[in-house]
Structure formats: structure tokens, C-alpha cells
Amino acid sequence: MWSGNGLDSTRKYHFEHGITGAILTLLISAFAAMLLRRLWTAKNSGVAKPPPPPPLPPGPRGLPLVGYLPFLGADLNHEFSKLASVYGPIYKMWLGSKLCIVISSPSMVKEVVRDHDTVFANRDPVVSTLVCTYGGNDIVFSPYGPQWKKLRKIFVREMISNTILDNLYGLRREEVHKSIMQIYEKANTPIDIGSLAFLTVINASTSMLCGASRRPGGYQEAGGAIDIAEIRKAATQLMELIGKSNISDLFPSLAWLDLRGVERETKKIVRVFEKLLDSAIQQAARNAKAESNKDNINGDEERGFLQFLLELHENGDESTSISMDQLKALLTVELTRPQQLWNGQWQHPEIMNKVKEELTQVVGLNNIVEESHLSQLIYLNAVIKETLRLHPPLPFLLPRLPSLTTTIGGDLAGEHNFSWLAAIALSCSAFLALLWLLKIRLRRHDQTHRMLELPPGPKGFPLLGYLPYLGPDLHRMFMELAQVYGPIYKLSIGRRLCVIISSPSLVEQVVRHQDIVFANRNPSIASLAFSFGGNDIAFAPYGPQWRLLRKIFVREMLSNENLNAFYELRRNELKKSVRHVYGNAGKPINLGELAFLTVINMITRMFWGGTLDGEEEKRLGAEFRAAVSQLVSLLGKPNVSDFFPVLAGLDIQGVERNMKKVSKWLERIFDFVIDQKRKARQVLDAKEKAGAKDFLEVLLDYKEQDTGRSISPPEIKAMLMDIVIGGTDTTSTMVEWAMTELMLHPDIMRKCQSELSEVVGNDKGVEESHIIKLTYLHAVVKETLRLHPAAPLLLPRSPSKPCIVGGYAIPKGTKVFLNVWAMHRDPLFWEDPTEFNPKRFLKEDNDQDDQSKMLDYFGNNLKYIPFGAGRRICAGLPLGEKMLMHVLAMLLHLFEWELPRGAKLDSAEKLGVVLEKVNPLVAVPVPRLSNLELYI
């Protein structure tokens, strides 16, 4: 009687969509023509063009026609999460001719389910669900509108109202009891918990469907009029079919071919199911009549859903009456909705024991659990909530379909009905395939690259790109943009294409998988000027020269042997600073300046060792420091020539000119010292020359074994420059940040001081040999480098050839920033990321993953890379760490630090050459130890 209607409505759905497609195509062509005409008129009349619509979200490229389909495995939820870590919290992919958008951040989900809830209140039903819901006549799949509202009201307020559910409790209880009996009978034999739970729930659902009529004396379970066992079987088969992937869903224009036969098979089962429902409905009707004749002895008690819906069908008023298709669709959905809960608690016996304890307490050992107990089972409720969090039965809910083109997170979420698009796509497919083949033949060399898109990113102004929006806090702004465009995006700064990356998995593609390609820099004009044309380690392009310079630097100049040999020089400089602080005890001291002076003195002493005599060294040292300060401020200045290479010759801001002037000044100092050194060495014999060498001596003496190549004067000077620029500002700024955090957290400062008292003793000064034992201070320094990395964007990399990162094309020469600052604060990897908490670096507080790969400075775990990673990792790391730890330990061990009266402490930051404090840290030292010898 009703069967034909239901199945025909599906056909009608496709037919209507085909017609709609054709009409839409015509309309769109007409609309496009009108639009072109308007644009043409607007252009000619001088009217400004409307701004372009926001782009579609980024996403992986798939293959022509099939899209990303061939790359998807069975584990969709995991695959979607992986893609989100590459493309960000909103991304698109084509599955066949369907445009899918995957959203995985609460803020964007809010935009969908709150801000645009009505627009997104539609679904995109698959063919099998359309068949079994009689063309979307149910709550789940019917489009948002009056019909859906009515059905939902009936379902929520009437069908599963508290009263009805309470009335039917007896039936549910019976089914649960039956399952318990089954388990009892099978005691000591293995049981498939999933199947048991599934059976229990489906049994309870079907019981509630039929109500008391299914009890003995009512209608029999088997052989009687309502064959519950058959209904269950059919419901299970339907669920399997709904879960099956179907080509027709991905290519709606091919749906009529039903290539996988899903529609055919679903219809077959729906027919069986329908027959069963029909007879159940007829029996329920007869039953209702019989009951009314008996003057309704049971009242509403145990009237099943079926009986209830039947009444609405027959006697409902305008707001509640439902058609037979709707009635059956409601029943089908009730029987086929997902009904599993993961038994996560089984993997945690301690949690299971707690659940048991609670049950014993609330229910007692001699009773069985009733629904009335549930609200008191607080712990079990928490277990269920946690299970649903970890294993949601629908990991990506039921897909929504916007009824309008909508913007989410700045991207276009797409319009829903793509069946017309599919029609066009099909008709063009042969042509596209031909084009594609042609493209492969013509561009065999870098075919993959050319087919890929550049990463997404914000639009800027013509010519200027994003330049006018850039502020001093580049790292912070880059992080905010990543929240919109994902962990890889592009922006143009003037004529420079920049790509910003801020996820460890993408950084891995740069510093591990393609480290050599990305081992180049994109030096600014100022850095080229100070490094004598890129003749140093930091800016030389990757190649034999850079490898040689870095080898000399790391293996010879900063070898353990050399560093140990110069310990005394560093120690003396540190002691000088201690004396200076002691002499100013009780007075405010600028801690950044103090650290800078200490570090630069340590470094320059290691430069020229004992070459210069006292007065000369003092004079040159002061001159040197002044030149370095000027150089650093020039390096941190944004320069128009860097963004518009065509204007570089004009040097509009004079940065290059000034840089060359300061470099010349420094060069003269270097030349003088080199000359002095050469003269001094002429009088040394071979044995004396072979002893410990200062940096300059290492460089002057160097001869490559195989080639006999020595280091050229510009290379020597450029490397000395690297040590000064790379080593001083970084290390001293970190001392200032660490002291700031410690003063903001006095309890942590106290812990550091107790550790120092314990390890060093209160009658001694700190030596470098103590450093290794200062576990807590190490954690403090690591946490400081996490929150305030000296180079928050590292030194930009630049690929030497076109390459791919995260599925996007990165052209040769792009300036690639790795936003370490954002990764160090990413809540995905760090708990309470903005909190200063050194404990996270102590072994006992690390999670298992981190324990196996301790968070060191060497880039072993890419979520933490304050010194960079890969081939271009900081070359001065061992020296930097030694100086930072020693200076800090000494300041903390020998002095208490207080804020000057009325002063306020803050941690505002700005990005110059390094990430500095906006307001310098000024503090008052008070000697901490009684042994005065330590201070003189």
C-alpha cells in the first residue's frame, strides 16, 4: 500500500535534481553573461570592482575527477586529523565531484552550529539513507524547514518524552535483564562485549517500538504477527548498507547507474523491512482497537512508539499529524541509529574498580541497577563522558550542508548543491584528462610542483602586498594569521614571497626531509653588508664554503678542548661583572646591559686572548661594543630595499650605507687585532703555537689538509662578526628574560637559589663544572627559551629549488619563516602554554613520549627548537648554553634581586634582531652570601 511511494520518492529526488541541474546550468550561464556585462560596464565607467570573494579553504590536491578519494583509507577520523595538522582547522577536499569541508576547531564549529546554524541545518543524505527514509522523510535527513521542525517536535516532546520513556522502562529493563542472564549462562567463557551491547540496545529499541503488545499474550516474537527477530535482522542489514561507500554518493550525476548496487540492495531490504513494519502497524492498529474495547485497562502504560505514531497518523491535528512515510521513516531511524559505546574502561582496571565501588555503594550488593540509580552514579557518568570524548560513535557528526555560500574562519565554506557541477565536470572530463596528459608530457621535469597551488594566505595591497599591515610583533601576527590560514600560508611583503610555517610536522618537512634544499638563507641587504657579502656561516649559501666555515667553527674554534682552555678568560670576565654589581649593591642595575657587557667581554677575550695589553684592550673593547650596538640596531631595522629589490640600488633609508660604515669601523678593529696577533706569533716557536688557540689563532692557522686552502681575510672577519652578533645579543637577552621570569615568580627563584646552595655551597662561587648538576636551573632556562625564544622566527630559510611542503608548492627563493614562537605556545603540544612552568622540563613531569625523546636543544623533538634544527641549527650552541647558564647561576647565587621601589615588572616583548624586552629589566642587587671573598 505504501511501499511504492517510498521508493519512488528516491527516484523522484534524482530526477528532480537532474532537471534542477539543467535549469541551474542555463541560469548560471545567463547569470555569468550578465555579470560579465556588468563588470565590463563598471570597468569602462570607472566604477571600482567589488572586492573578490574570500577563497575556498586550503586542502590537499587530489587527482582529476576522483579528487582525494584514492588517498583516503578506512580510518577516516585519523586521516582527517592528520590533514588538519597540515592544512589547519578548516580545509577542503574533493571526493569525486563533492566538495567536502572538514572543520576541527571549536571556534569554527561555533560559527557553523551557532552563528550560521540555520544556514547549516541541512544534511547531504547518502543514497541508501534516502531510500530507507522514504526520500528524507525523517528527522535526520529531511531538509531544515516546517516539516523537519514538526517531526523533531513530535520526536523529542512526545515520542521520547520523559513520561513515555518512563512508561516503557519495564520493557528496556527486561531486555537488559535478558542480556545479563545470557552473560551469566556464559560465565567463564569469552564474550564479544560489542555484539552483546549492540544486541541489548537493538532489542530494547524494538521492544519499545512494539510496546506491551509483544509480551506473551500480546503478539508473539516469532511466528506471531510481529516478527521482531526479522525486524532486528533487517535493521542490522540496513545499518551495514548505510555504512557502505557508494560511488553514487560521490558522483550524483552517476547515481542513476547505481554502479555498486547499493541502492538496489537497500531497496530490497527496505521492502522486507517495510513488509514487517506494515504488518506490525496493522497489528498495532488492531491491538489499539482491542485495548480501547477493553476500556484501556493499561492506560498509556507500555504503549509502544508504533502505537503512539499510529495514533498521530490517524487522529493527529494539523501540528501533529504525520504521513505514513514519515511514520515509517521515524521508526527506521529509531532502529538504525548508531548504538555502540566503546568500552574504554576495560583497558583501565583501576577505573573499573572505582566504578564497581561506586555501584556497590549506590546500588548495594543485593540489588540490580535500576534507571533511578543512574543520576547518583557520578563516577560512571564521568567514565561515559570520557569514553564519548575519546571514542565518539560519530567521530565527525553527520555532515552539514549550507543552504547559502557562507564564510567560515575567513574562507568560503562552499555552496551545497554540486550535482550541476558534477554534470559539467563529467561533460568536460574527457577534455580535462587530455589536457592533463598533455601537461605531463610537456612538463615532465617538475610536473608535481607545477600542478600544485601556493599555500593560502591573506591578500595584501597591489604592489605592497601585506607590508602595510606588518607591525613590530611579527611573530605574534604570524601566529594570529596561522589561526585563520592554517599552519602553512603565504604572504607577499612588497615583491618578496614569504611562507610561514608553524607546525612541527611541516617544520619536519623543511628541516629533515628537505634539509639540504632548505639549507639556504635569504639574507637581507644589511646582513649581506655585515657578513662581507655572505662570507660567514649564518648567511653563506649552502655549499662547500659554508661547510668548511662551519666545520672550522664547530670542530676547532668551539671544540670542547678550546672552550675548556678558555674557561679562565670567561671566568675572569664574569668575576669582573660580579665586582661591578657588588660595587653597586643597593642601587638599580639594568640587567640586560649588565648581561650584554659580560657576554661581549667574554667573547672578545676569547677572540684575541692576551694579544692586547690592558689599556689598549680597554680602549678597543669600548670601541668594539659601541660599533656592535650600532650594527645590531641597523640589522633589526625593516628595509624597503629588501622588499623591493628593484629599489635596492637607491638605498632609500640608507641602511646599506650605514651598515657599510659600521662594518668598516669594525673591520679596522679586526685588522688592527689581526696585525697585532701576526706580529706576536712571529716570535713564538712551533711548540708554543700548538698550544690552546684563541679564535683568531684558529682562523689564521687554518689550512685544509687535502687542498691546503686557508681562510681568506673577509671570511675571517665575517666569522668573527658571526660570533659577536650571533653570540652576544642572543645570550644576554636570554639572561634578561630568565631574570624577568624569576622575579615574576619568586618561589621559582628561591628554588634555583636552594639548588645552588646545595650543589655549589654557600662559601664558593659557581664554576662551569657545577652547571651540569643544576637540574632545576636547566629547566628554568629551557622554559625561558620556550616562552621567549631569542629568534622566534629563527633565521629565514630559502629553498634552492622549487619544492613541496604540506602539499603546497614553494617556489625557489621564497623566504620561509619557521614560527618557533607559535609552536612553543601551541596548546596542542603544551599544557597551559602561556604559563611559566619549568617543571614541564623535569623528567618526572614529562609524558612518556617526551621521556623517550627528552626535550633537548638539538631539535630532536620539533615542538621545541629554540636553537633551530637541521643543518642550520645554531653553530654556537655549546658556548651559548655555557655562558647563559654560568652568568645566570652566578647572579642568582651571589645576589638577591629586588625591584626598585614603585617599579613594575612586565614581560612585554618586541622583535628586533632578537626578541627583546620592551621595558628593560632594572633590579636592585643585595649580596646573598656572607663570604665576601666571592665578591672581589
Residues at the site binding ligand HEM, with contacts judged by CB under 6 A: 537-538, 550, 722-723, 726-727, 730-731, 734, 790-791, 794-795, 866-869, 872-876, 879-880, 884
Cα(598)–Cα(575) distance, integer angstroms? 9
Written as nine digits, the cell of 530 is 655585515
Check if the beta carbon of residue 393 is closer than 8 Å to that of residue 341: yes
Closer Cβ to ligand HEM, 419 or 728, answer by number: 728
Cα(673)–Cα(620) distance, integer angstroms? 9
Cα(724)–Cα(621) distance, integer angstroms? 12
Closest distance of CB 872 from ligand HEM, Å: 4
Closer Cβ to ligand HEM, 455 or 534, answer by number: 534
Closest distance of CB 574 from ligand HEM, Å: 15
Check if the beta carbon of residue 269 is closer than 8 Å to that of residue 237: yes
Cα(741)–Cα(729) distance, integer angstroms? 18
Closer Cβ to ligand HEM, 120 or 841, answer by number: 841
DSSP bridge pairs for 303: 211
Closest distance of CB 403 from ligand HEM, Å: 48
Closer Cβ to ligand HEM, 284 or 875, answer by number: 875
DSSP 368: -
Closer Cβ to ligand HEM, 204 or 884, answer by number: 884
Residue 908 burial (C-beta neighbours within 10 Å; 0-12, 13-18, 19+): exposed
Closest distance of CB 703 from ligand HEM, Å: 22
Helix 746-759 to helix 877-894 angle (10° resolution) is 100
Closest distance of CB 869 from ligand HEM, Å: 6
Closer Cβ to ligand HEM, 267 or 605, answer by number: 605
Q: How many CB atoms lie within 10 A of CB 683?
A: 7
Residue 101 burial (C-beta neighbours within 10 Å; 0-12, 13-18, 19+): buried
DSSP 585: T
What sections of 514-590 are H helices per DSSP?
Answer: 525-530, 544-551, 560-565, 567-583
Closer Cβ to ligand HEM, 172 or 786, answer by number: 786
Helix 655-682 to helix 591-608 angle (10° resolution) is 40
DSSP bridge pairs for 805: 808
Burial 428-440 (b: 16+ CB within 10 A, else e): eeeeeeeeeeeee
Closer Cβ to ligand HEM, 790 or 924, answer by number: 790
Closest distance of CB 497 from ligand HEM, Å: 19
Cα(253)–Cα(425) distance, integer angstroms? 10
Closer Cβ to ligand HEM, 262 or 794, answer by number: 794
Closest distance of CB 736 from ligand HEM, Å: 11
Closest distance of CB 885 from ligand HEM, Å: 10
Cα(9)–Cα(349) distance, integer angstroms? 51
Check if the beta carbon of residue 369 is closer than 8 Å to that of residue 51: no
| Residue 101: HSE in the Cβ half-sphere, 13 Å Cα cutoff | 26
Closest distance of CB 81 from ligand HEM, Å: 28
Closest distance of CB 871 from ligand HEM, Å: 7
Closer Cβ to ligand HEM, 89 or 866, answer by number: 866
Question: What are the φ/ψ torsions at residue 92 (nearest 5 degrees)?
Answer: -115, 160
DSSP 455: P
> How distant, in Å, are the alpha carbons of 297, 530, 532, 816 from that of 662?
103, 8, 12, 28
Contact residues for 51 (Cβ-Cβ < 8 A; gap 6+): none
Contact residues for 57 (Cβ-Cβ < 8 A; gap 6+): 87, 88, 90, 91, 92, 101, 408, 409, 411, 412, 413, 456
Planar angle of CA 775, 776, 778, nearest 5 degrees: 65
400-404 long-range contacts (CB < 8 A, ≥24 apart) are: 400/112, 400/120, 400/121, 400/122, 400/123, 400/124, 401/120, 401/122, 401/123, 401/124, 402/116, 402/119, 402/120, 402/122, 403/118, 403/119, 403/120, 403/121, 403/122, 403/144, 404/119
Closer Cβ to ligand HEM, 550 or 886, answer by number: 550
Closest distance of CB 793 from ligand HEM, Å: 9
Closer Cβ to ligand HEM, 58 or 592, answer by number: 592
Closer Cβ to ligand HEM, 544 or 654, answer by number: 544
DSSP 101: E
Closest distance of CB 58 from ligand HEM, Å: 25
Cα(572)–Cα(585) distance, integer angstroms? 20
Closest distance of CB 743 from ligand HEM, Å: 19
Check if the beta carbon of residue 332 is closer than 8 Å to that of residue 273: yes
Closer Cβ to ligand HEM, 228 or 793, answer by number: 793
- The answer to whether 874 is annotated as binding is yes
Closest distance of CB 879 from ligand HEM, Å: 5
Place of cell 567560515: 408
Contact residues for 899 (Cβ-Cβ < 8 A; gap 6+): 743, 905, 922, 923, 924
Find the distance separating the first CA and the last CA of the chain, reported in whole Å. Answer: 105
Closest distance of CB 603 from ligand HEM, Å: 7
Closer Cβ to ligand HEM, 621 or 876, answer by number: 876
Binding residue positions: 874
Binding-site residue positions for heme: 874
